[in-house]
Structure 1
Amino acid sequence: MSDIIRFFETHTCCIIDSWIRRMENAFPGYYNPEKLRQQCARYVILIADIHIPIEQHEVFNDYKKWCDHLFAKRVPIEHILQSSLYFREAFFESVADFQAERAELVSVIADVVYRIDQFQTVVYSYFFDHARGKIEQQDKLIEDMHADKLNLIGKMASSMAHEIRNPLTSIKGFFVLIRKMLPPVALQTIEKYLDIIDNEFRNIEMQITGFLSFSRKPIADETPELTPINALIEKTMLLVNPLLLNENIEFSAHVEEDLQAHIQKIALIQVFSNLMNNAIDALRESDGRQRLITIRAIADGDHIYVRISNTGPEIPAVIQASLFDPFVTGKAEGTGLGLAICKQIVERNDGDITFETNNRETTFTLRFPAPPAANLAQPT
């Protein structure tokens, strides 16, 4: 008779009783003691039959059903981990009373521990694969829900954008006509006001383009091209300068020379404009502090970074985690679409957008892939 068979013939009941006692102390009232005894008795058979490869053992062949039963009962994985630990403790408690030569005792311990580890590895892998499958299903469900929400937003945005664009087309036509019909003297008197109207009109047009980007209309499919970052910033400033002057906000820009990215120019001007307008809105709420907006653009070889900072108040903590989701806003009269549109445009240009905020400064960082060195010739 082998030492392992002799050991389990004399100690199985003690091991099972000790294991059940530990389980009941750890999880009082959670498990049926009689069912625990039946399960442990089968487990002991699996461990004791060391001469049968574990994959060929009849008890092992039922392990998936056992695991599925645990899943259905929503047994936490930590219970499985603890139950295995308690079995080891019960085994070592009993093996201490086993009368055998030292070499025989070491052999029994080594074989039993190896068998336990084999079974544990399989069960944990099965649990992990099952949990991963559940997570993937949940992620797919969330993605589908998000896609449905974006589709609904797209339909709403498309309808709204077209309704706005129709009267704007008429306004633009009459605006051009007014410029042509005014005498030079009269035009010179109001030229600066007309420029402001023109800039604001272009800003509205870009916002409409952003709305249409949610609806995946061809108007949003601008062809990317190699574009100087400095030129984008300059065009953005033409749009927001009147607001900066009106709000008495300081502005500074620090842009490395020859920075270029392969991007959609008009779409990215809209992103810059939106972030600048958000910064201006934030500074309207600043209380007695310096009102400053800073743009910094740098490269690290692999990427180009554009950082737009303002000294306004911190973004509320309650919306930080979902700031780029549609309809999330900290503004009393905001739509919650601006940053969602920015994120979509940036990602469409193979970039990403992040932010940092505290009670001194808020910074939005745009990151784009740097173009290959061979493509760095100045665009025409």
Structure 2
Amino acid sequence: METNVQTGIGYIKLGDFLKENEQEFLDLWEEQIIVHSAVDNRAQIRENGYLMYQLIINAITSKLSEDDLRSLAHKVAQERVDANNNIGEFVYNVNLGRSILIKCVTHSGIILEEIQTIIDLINSKFDLFCFYAVSRYTDLKDLKLQEKNVYITQTHKDRLAILGQMSSSFVHEFRNPLTSVMGFIKLLKNDYPNLPYVNVISSELEQLKFKISQFLHTSKLNTVVENRDEDIMIKGLIEEVTDFLYASIVDGNIQITSTIDANAKVHGDRSELKQVFLNLLMNAIDAVCEEDIYRVINIHSEVNEEHITIMISNNGPTISADAAEFIFEPFYTTKKLGTGIGLFVCKNILEKNHGKIVYNSDDDLTTFQITLPII
């Protein structure tokens, strides 16, 4: 690359020198850059290199608008995102151009006192260009990722809706023969009260009926149903649930304690709220039975002027922090054989009855906390 710049001439003649050797610079740069022929547009890359080269000349000979530098950086970032190209290769190519340009300047005949100022200027513009381009590229990538997550979430919801409709159809088909079997078991118990294993069969059928009711709740959540709200004593409701689960509690050798305010009364659908406590206590029983430990379940309440808060705690395995975002979503489960609808049903029933549910899990206890308005 020949030079006509003489010592001490200054910035203007350096600018003229760079203009005269523009094609030689671009050819040298293009020979060394990283380009993937299958995905990269070589002509577009050379055009962007030319535009950056012109901006540097403007910065040396006159003034460079920061908006022009930002505009080119944003243009390149958009092109890289659209082509799904790596930003790292772009940064390498830019820095390669910087190195070639600085080498040209140092051999241009500019006096030593001016060379360092010019190199500092070039470095500052290239640094700013890279900053704008990489920042824009990152923002655009994040936006695409968010859009993709929204699409995935919506697709997931659509699939769940279809799965829910299918499940509801299957469950209705199961419920009719189950009702008949349960009826005949009751007749069998009446005719042969001492017949062994009938109580076990009856208990298992009740559990199956409960699971079927869970699925039916998922299909009824957004439909209008008959209002069956009534005044409910919370202590009595929880005692009904623990009595129903007595066999499982004894079989698991579980120590269960309950301290519920005897006067706390709520207004809501009794069967639905009963299902909430059944879900949570069955989950707690399953959790403590996973490990060979001293198994404990505590049920405790706190009452103020407006609400009752019921805490159901167990000393089973910790629920990981990763589950926090999904634990109340349908079909998400941490159990090996779980259906993933119990907590989803609980959350929706409680919200329908003007309540809420949250949980906390650490190395000592996992606690599900229910809050309901009292009357």
What is the TM-score of this pair, normalised by structure 2? 0.62
CA distance in structure 2 between the partners assigned to 1:255 and 1:84 by the alignment: 70
Tell me how far 1:43 sits from its aligned partner. Answer: 0.9
Which amino acid is the alignment partner of residue 77 of structure 1? I
| Counterpart in the other structure of 1:237 | 242
Go from structure 1 to structure 2 and tell me whether the alpha carbon gap of 1:142 and 1:34 turns closer, same or farther (over 3 Å shift).
closer
Distance 2:361 2:247 in 1: 27
Post-superposition offset of 1:322: 7.0
Q: What corresponds to 1:139 in structure 2?
A: 149
Report percent identity of matched pairs: 23
Task: Kindly report which structure 2 residues correspond to 1:129-208, keeping only aligned pairs within 5 A, or say none.
Answer: 129-167=139-177, 201=206, 206-208=210-212
Residue 61 (structure 2) pairs with residue 70 (structure 1): no
Counterpart of 2:297 in structure 1: which amino acid?
I
**Deviation for aligned residue 1:326:** 1.7
SS at match of 1:154: helix
Match of 1:293 in 2: 297
Return the alpha-carbon distance in structure 2 between the equivalents of residues 303 and 43 of structure 1. Answer: 67
Aligned partner of 1:247 among 246, 252, 259: 252
Q: Any gaps of 5 or more consecutive residues in structure 1? A: none
Contact 1:296 1:306 in 2 (8 A): yes
Task: Give the TM-score, by structure 1 length.
Answer: 0.62
Residues 1-380 of structure 1 correspond to what in structure 2 (within 5 A)?
Answer: 4-10=11-17, 39-50=48-59, 51=63, 53=65, 55=67, 60=71, 64=75, 66-81=76-91, 83=93, 99=110, 106=117, 108=118, 112=122, 115-116=125-126, 119-120=129-130, 122-124=132-134, 126-167=136-177, 201=206, 206-216=210-220, 218=223, 233-253=238-258, 266-287=271-292, 289-295=293-299, 306-311=311-316, 326=331, 328=333, 330-331=335-336, 334-342=338-346, 345=349, 351=356, 353-354=358-359, 356=361, 363=366, 365-366=367-368, 378-379=374-375
Contact preservation (8 Å) 1:259, 1:298: no
Determine helix, strand or coil for the equivalent of 2:220: coil
Change (3 A) 1:239 1:123: same
- Residue 277 of structure 2 aligns to a residue in which SS? helix
Partners of 1:39 and 1:88 in 2: CA distance: 14
In the aligned structure 2, how far is the partner of 1:262 from the partner of 1:124? 57
Report SS of the residue matched to 1:306.
Answer: strand
Cα deviation digits, residues 299-348 of structure 1 (max 9, x gap): 9999957343133x67799999976662756435x545445544655677
Checking the alignment, whether the CA contact within 8 Å between 2:234 and 2:265 is kept in structure 1 is yes
RMSD: 5.8
Worse-superposed segment, 211-220 or 31-40: 31-40
Which protein has the larger Cα radius of gyration, Structure 1 or Structure 2? 2
Distance 1:357 1:56, change over 3 A: closer
Q: CA deviation at 1:243?
A: 1.9
Give the letter for the 2:284 counterpart.
A
- Work out the CA distance in 2 between the residues paired with 1:142 and 1:224: 38
8 Å CA contact 2:81–2:141 kept in 1: the answer is: no
Give the letter aligned to residue 276 of structure 1: L
Q: Secondary structure at the match of 2:284?
A: helix
Whole-Å Cα distance in 1 between the matches of residues 261 and 120 of structure 2? 66
Look up the equivalent residue of 2:282 and give its one-letter code.
Answer: N
The runs of 5 or more residues in structure 2 that have no matched partner are none
The number of residues matched between the two structures is: 353
Q: Residues of 2 paired with 1:102 and 1:173: CA distance?
A: 102
Question: Partner letter of residue 248 of structure 1?
Answer: N
